[in-house]
A and B are shown apart, each in its own frame.
Chain A
């Protein structure tokens, strides 16, 4: 399977259905127009334990608007009439399990969803979905974190699509201090694989994006975009466009 990001990719996160699926669709179109390379689309879950409070609240808003997988797939079908921008899902395993793995990955293939990141499905439990993901050619994107330690190589060796690297837990103030550790973990990954690495940990200013784009292939922007949607609701698409365009301008 091919890699799904390139050097200097901007990956933008959106919670599907926040505040409704129409707005999400228009935000994705805005992101594509502003130069994002990939959209990471959250599937809302009642108990998103591994998220920032910003994204936890987006989960709750999306569930309030009655957003479930069927609606999300229909929205992507509509989206595909307008743009082919690569999309991956970000979902907890339980909604996918309940939808049925066969159905879920079949629908991913049909709507050209290229991959899925699952915060509560570590390497050790990948066999839960691997057979289905492989059958339909959908990447299971692997997380790597600093505490993965000796597991970094093991995970990286089998990873496809790109590696989702989370250097620390949401602390952006200490970016400078962390950069050495970030570099050494990235070196470890690069020893065993050629696939691209994307960094996600609360990057929100062009200066940060520029700095980290030199270290990694892709930059994931989550909280900053979700905050824009939280603030502007249905009017978000134009604000999302402006923001992504500004961030993308430094990635070259």
Chain B
């Protein structure tokens, strides 16, 4: 068996009923990741279907406005389906197909991973069922319809907090009932090994491209690389190929909701502690009894009480820093980027934009900052209008 942990974090803390299947996925992945046919098919899907490579865009207006670091955006929002999630699902759904599975299931928070999974399943001819917290189906109703258009069945989860955490619970329970023909397509760098590694590998295309793009455009590496973090898949993808570049600072932006001094946040690293949940040892928002805390963020995609184990590891060795960003700051950044660059970011990505706004002015003008724009904001427009007191029809 390969190493299942990142330092002390990670592992395979799952019910016995899933262990057999997890081991099958582990060996299938170890095989296909080096298989030329698999690699070529995935590469073709990424480049000819998902619109990769994504642009590395120099944000001239924002750079001038803030008067500090040169700001670049890695434009994952321009991918097919509108976010970075497609990178991972094309890999995982293809793996499911190579393993002979007929059906995929997935959890989703904001709906981006659900839409991406439904898309890949439609393309590759697999059945698809998505689990989504009831509260999220309401605040992201457009994405629910999108998934249905793509042929997926959407289950609204009514247990617990009715958000992403509960969607993961329900998807795992469903998977335990039916592994023979079904693959669980996990949406983030979390869960039991090998998922954190698989998802990171499939998302690392973000930093592989970004690193080559910035070197070819400017001849040097960035001082700062930044991304928003819920479970942490776009951040892990954005960080991965920069980890060995010791002078590149890695910053993850967590959802601080109403503020980390309140109970309404999802700032796992800032406020959480080590625990074991959803198959992994990592850092979680939890009470002193080890009960997982109900978390909150305006962003359904960051509204998760844990973080991927490799992030917990990068944090523990001081390689990456994690900072909290509030709802207010994220909404301001959402509007700011729309007006100054003509780019409407996903509210998740707006958390990273918000911290970029704070940090860039403190940096030198010859320094470079790359921010991952993990998704586009069309899905958030109605919710942001409501936040500002305007009710609009979607």
Contact = CB atoms under 8 A, between A and B. Distances in A.
Given A49-B169, A56-B159, A68 B289 contact: yes
Contacts of B275: 94, 97-98
A119 B20 contact: no
A148 B24 CA distance: 12
A120 B289 contact: no
A50 interface: yes
Given A98-B275, A98-B288, A123-B19, A49 B13 contact: no
A151 B4 CA distance: 18
Contacts of B284: 94
Contacts of B177: 169
Interface stretch (A76-84, A107-115, A139-147, A225-233): A139-147
B17 A166 contact: yes
Given A97-B276, A169-B176, A151 B19 contact: yes
A215 interface: no
Contacts, number: 97
A47 interface: yes
A52 B311 CA distance: 32
A147 B291 contact: no
A145 B17 contact: yes
A15 B288 CA distance: 20
A45 interface: yes
A124 interface: yes
A251 to B, nearest CB: 26
B17 A169 contact: yes
Nearest to B290: A98
Given A56-B159, A94-B276, A120 B13 contact: yes
B290 to A, nearest CB: 3
B171 to A, nearest CB: 10
Most buried by B among A56, A63, A97, A166: A97
**Residue of B179, B275, B284 with most chain A CB atoms under a 10 A cut-off:** B275
Interface residues of B, number: 35
Contacts of B11: 125
Nearest to B168: A49
Contacts of B18: 147
A70 to B, nearest CB: 9
Interface in A88-140: 93-99, 119-125, 128
B20 A149 contact: yes
B173 to A, nearest CB: 6
Contact of A122 (B12, B172, B277, B286): B12
Contacts of A123: 16, 19
B248 interface: no
Given A47-B169, A151-B20, A93 B289 contact: no
30 contacts: A45-B291, A47-B165, A47-B292, A49-B172, A50-B15, A50-B176, A93-B276, A94-B275, A94-B286, A94-B291, A94-B292, A95-B291, A96-B290, A97-B290, A98-B286, A120-B13, A120-B14, A120-B276, A122-B15, A122-B16, A122-B19, A124-B12, A125-B11, A143-B16, A144-B16, A145-B16, A147-B18, A147-B20, A147-B179, A151-B19
Given A46-B292, A49-B172, 18 more contacts: A47-B292, A49-B173, A68-B289, A93-B13, A94-B275, A94-B292, A95-B290, A95-B291, A99-B290, A121-B13, A122-B14, A122-B16, A122-B19, A124-B12, A125-B13, A128-B276, A147-B19, A148-B19
